[in-house]
Amino acid sequence: MNSTANLVELRDIGVRMGRTPVLRGLDLTIEPGEVVGIRGANGSGKTTLLRLVATLLRPSEGTGRVLGAGLTDPARYEIRRQVALIGHVPALYDELTLEENTKFVARFCGAGAERIAEVLDVVGLTEARTRRVRECSAGMQRRAEFARVLLGNPKIVLFDEAHSGLDASATPLVEHVIKSVVAADGAAMVVSHQEDRTAPFTDRVLELDQGRLWEAA
């Protein structure tokens, strides 16, 4: 895939959970370097959309490609490593320390000890690195997730409530993580209820309403 190709292309996508339609007739294109904000009410399908773009969900209808791989092709397994998803619930092992969690991810990303120390420093967890996750605040856990993104150098980063658990002083960190991905011809999708905190770095904002995606006014 060349660098100018769209990173995400979804056409007439529908996703059903059981008999309930969650996404309907959804079209979305994301180009390299783009930061797309997504807003929508609870239950509008934001998380489903992120998991779909992460190729963790298969569409019930429609077609789509992420980083050149079809959403139902076996090739999607290969591109997943280039996608980072920061969801509602932290993907951390509660009984491991922040550093051990970061090392766990680093082993799969091929990152060394120096890089681990560097990203922990960037996200402001150097001092807290020996704390177990279950002893950490939601904000610290969020920062550990950002460290994971920085380690993996993904082409696409997907944030579900980017600022969840973070105070205002962490806004530059969110921006730094997004910029580091976008600067390498990547893209970001940011779901947030706090639009005022994401607006400064989103190129466009889409509204998800009853499973359909609209260009926000």
Partner 1 sequence: MSLPFWSQAGEIARADLRSESRTGEVMAVTIPFGAVALLLIPFGIGTDAPLLRQIGVGIYWAVVLLFGMLVALRRSAAEGPAQRDLLGLLGVDPAARFAGRALSTGVLVLAFEVVLGPIAIALYDARITGWAWLILVVPMVAAGLALLSTLIGSIVGGSGAAPALVPFLVAPLAIPMLLAATQSLEGLRLGESILAWLLLLAAMDLVLAIAGVLTARPLQEVR
**75 forms part of the interface with partner 1 (CB under 8 A):** no
Instruction: Evaluate whether 77 touches 56 at the Cβ level (below 8 Å).
Output: no
> Tokens representing 201?
């770095």
- Least CB distance to partner 1 at residue 194 (A): 21
CB of 123 to partner 1, least distance (A): 17
Cβ proximity to partner 1, 180 vs 205, nearer residue: 180
The one among 85, 116, 128, 208 contacting partner 1 by CB under 8 A:
85
- Residue among 79, 130, 76 at smallest CA distance from 103: 130
When asked if residue 54 is in the footprint of partner 1 (CB under 8 A), the reply is yes
Q: Pick one of 16, 60, 109, 117: the residue that binds partner 1 (CB under 8 A).
A: 109
CA atoms of 212 and 210, how far apart (whole Å): 6
The dihedral region occupied by 20, where left means phi > 0, alpha psi between -120 and 50, and beta the remainder, is beta
Which residue among 23, 66, 105, 140 contacts partner 1 (CB under 8 A)? 105
Binding of partner 1 by 23 (CB under 8 A): no
Q: Is 81 in the site for partner 1 (CB under 8 A)?
A: yes
Residue pair 125/170 in contact by the 8 Å Cβ criterion: no
- Kindly state the smallest distance separating residue 87's Cβ from partner 1, in Å: 5
* Contact (CB, 8 A) for 36 and 162: no
| CA nearest to 144, candidates 154, 132, 153 | 132
The first and second tokens of residue 67, run together, are: 């980083």
Which residues within the stretch 143-172 sit at the binding site for partner 1 (CB under 8 A)? 148, 152
Binding partner 1 (rule: CB under 8 A), the pick from 3, 41, 107, 130 is 107
Q: Which helix (H) or strand (E) holds 215?
A: strand 212-215
Closest CB 200 distance from partner 1, rounded Å: 27
Which residue lies nearer to partner 1 by CB, 178 or 205?
178
Residue 130 Cβ, how far from partner 1 at the closest point, in Å?
Answer: 13
